[in-house]
Structure 1
């Protein structure tokens, strides 16, 4: 039972955090790879060609750039969360299976402020061929609840970081058609904490519990690719389509759980196969006049791939199999850009981002739901070679509920069942800035 507990704790925690951070439309997928695009809500991600961030948005767009350029910047995310109507219980043989309330706090605001950086370089070789390179974060999440968090037995700390490096090539066949392709090297790192309840004594109706501090770290790398195509039927209309492939990981790492009150420390190894799903983005950019252009976009993520968590151990072929039943997710955006004068462009956009998660399986590590994002931005070009972009986004999520239950048996002690239920309301502010230099 001890061996089984070790592997389940590690693998389920990693799986929950990894998919939490990537379950977006509507979770924690990172869209912050372009501040110029942030200004119009990324509505023209695959079709609007402003700067070198098109390396990520649509590799086919590089061959539409007139000269080499470097774009670098970042977005600072400030997330605010409110937790209400929270309840938590524990039950064991000494309670006859009846849940007894657990004490704790629900301060909320468990997502620390985070800066998400990026850098891209695009180099047109001639009128048809272009090369590029980018470094960015496609996925990432961090939740850090207070030490006495009411739901700490289900999870109180989650951090997952994915960094990608992408060499890219683009070729333009004629005035209308261009294609592009890139290879991505992706590095994932995860760290998760949870307080595991342990029954150490007591009498019927009066159990005595302690908690084991459970921590895990894991990492892996994987390869993927992206493809893009741009079609301009007329100079005023640009259509773009981008495909980003799935990426396969095999996370491995170390697990450690310490129950100081009973002097027990448990360590082990475990592994989990993880596949992030493919995504498709389509957008249209329409030049309405010399000064105004409008953009429409839609993104689709194949989250139906994630129907279960299957964990395999060193000595147990199948440790656990948990149904997740994620749904394919869509996001839609509309935005515009107005060239006020040769130096200043103004932008605005709205995005609707839908979650693939369901009420039945929503986790304390991923307490998010459908979201609306309102964005404004500006691009200032003081000289022909230099542009500075700024953007601000306000994100508000639909109020959502978390209802979780799990049973643990630490190092052979009697099983303890923990429950946690609460209402969450999340909002976020994103402040972005980037610099583009043209050579």
Structure 2
């Protein structure tokens, strides 16, 4: 039972291909979802150095210092993911939700010429995958005891993770060229579902982090940076065995979220056209293990190693002021995966990906504006073939073994819509 809990926990964390709020794995590497505004979707998330667009506030709260008005933006991100694996038994699709939605909310309140208050709500991490029971043949072995059939392997069936980040911030305008911001990140894991053929785990939890950012602007050049600290979300829930006669257990999972650093440079080539290049570093090495503990404390039941590596993303965004009230956006991003072969997981079949974004912003008059963005995410195929043999003697050790060998393919469509009111 202990192994079942730890396996379920590990797969859940490692594999939550975030469809949205996991956004079914269609965003940045791992189970991160950096698409926090419709403007960001249109520029492939290259907005950290943009002092002009209110859609940049959620990427860099220091940008609020360069805006003279207060504003509130309310919208949603919708993700339509597609995952499939081809192995010895054919091609299998992940039967996750066709579309998943997540909130995108950002408010900015001007206190005076120097100070601004901000409040953002978004879903920076998450995912969802569902595999049919017969997807991985090495994990379908069962022990038949007459009226009772006992699965011998905790085959991953469903992984779902939804994490909401509530981000209050304070911005200080140092002078005409420089703005600074600081805030906290309150992470709420509103749903964590980790199902296998041996046990089901459902739970929720929360955790805290902090963020710092800056934005410098001199004539046509602007330079920005944003940092979100690592955080630990304590998820508590019930593990329900699917074997008769074994009682449920209360368990606590420590989910280590990575730190995120983003730096960007933007240059206005003309009064209408501007280009921005951003570099993002995600500290996936924080996601080194998953500790499963009895609820209420005590020594860990088991610790599972993930062995992920820090990963980079490179983003290029263009904005073009087509008309006085209309801005066009275009972007491309290349995101590296932090997941190596040693602990590859079918719950999070991650790989390097290409992100293509396009969007439009339209002023509607009387302080109202509408932002729309679309992104296509194409994962590079992952032809996984492990040299580590899976063994029933250690049935919990699935990640990184030949039990999940196969050719993995994935893609996703993202659509963002926001309405903004400036006052």
Whether these two folds match at TM > 0.5 is yes
Deviations 1:133-186 (A, max 9, x none): 111111111112335544674301011111121211101111111100111211
Q: 1:316 to 1:62 in 2, by over 3 A?
A: closer
1:229 alignment partner in structure 2: 214
Confirm or deny: 8 A CA contact 2:167 2:185 kept in the other structure.
yes
Aligned in 2, Cα 1:150/1:251: closer, same or farther, shift over 3 Å? same
Q: Is 1:39 matched up with 2:80?
A: no
- Alpha-carbon separation, structure 2, partners of 1:368 and 1:193: 19
Of 89, 106, 117 in structure 2, the residue corresponding to residue 120 of structure 1 is: 106
Distance in 2, matches of 1:82 and 1:265, equals 34
Contact 1:131/1:169 (<8 A) preserved: yes
User: Which residue number in structure 2 is paired with residue 94 of structure 1?
Assistant: none
The 1:280/1:107 distance shift into structure 2, 3 A limit, reads: closer
Q: Which residue of 2 aligns with 1:138?
A: 124
Provide the C-alpha distance between the structure 2 equivalents of 1:37 and 1:63, rounded to a whole number of angstroms: 19
Gap change, CA 1:116 and 1:406, over 3 Å in 2: farther
How do residues 166-315 of structure 1 correspond to structure 2 at under 5 angstroms? 166-188=167-189, 189-196=191-198, 214-232=199-217, 234-259=218-243, 263-313=244-294
TM-score (norm: length of structure 2): 0.85
Maintained 8 Å contact 2:94/2:130: no
* Structure 2 counterpart SS, 1:136: strand
Gaps of 5+ in 1: 88-103, 197-213, 411-416
Contact preservation (8 Å) 1:166, 1:185: yes
Establish whether residue 375 from structure 1 lines up as the match of residue 373 from structure 2: no
Partner of 1:385: 367
Instruction: Report the secondary structure of 1:283's partner residue.
Output: strand
Q: Distance in 2 between matches of 1:333 and 1:63?
A: 24
1:397 aligns with 2:379: yes
Q: Please give the secondary structure, in 1, of the residue aligned with 2:406.
A: strand
| Distance in 2 separating the partners of 1:316 and 1:241 | 40
Distance change in 2, residues 1:268/1:375 (3 Å)? same
CA contact (8 A) 2:236 2:253 kept: yes
Deviation of 1:384 (Å): 5.1
Q: How does 1:101-116 map to 2 (within 5 A)?
A: 106-108=92-94, 110=96, 112-116=98-102
Q: CA deviation at 1:19?
A: 9.2
Could you tell me which residue of structure 2 aligns to residue 331 of structure 1?
313
Compared CA separation, residues 76 and 253, structure 1 to 2 (3 A): same
Q: Secondary structure at the match of 1:174?
A: coil
Deviations 1:353-409 (A, max 9, x none): 000001221111001200001111111113151211111111101101455846478
How many pairs are equivalent?
A: 393
Computing the radius of gyration from Cα coordinates, the structure with the larger value is 1
Cα displacement (A) at 1:258? 1.9
In structure 1, the residue matched to 2:155 is 154
| Superimposed CA distance per residue, residues 259-303 of structure 1 (whole angstroms, 9 cap, x where no aligned partner) | 3xxx43431122232321211111112111111111110110112
* Alignment match, 2:85: 83
Matching residue of 1:11: 9
Contact 1:247/1:275 (<8 A) preserved: yes
- What secondary structure does 1:356 align onto? coil
Q: Per-residue deviation at 1:105? A: 7.3
Q: Deviations over 1:242-265 (max 9, x none)?
A: 110111222221110123xxx434
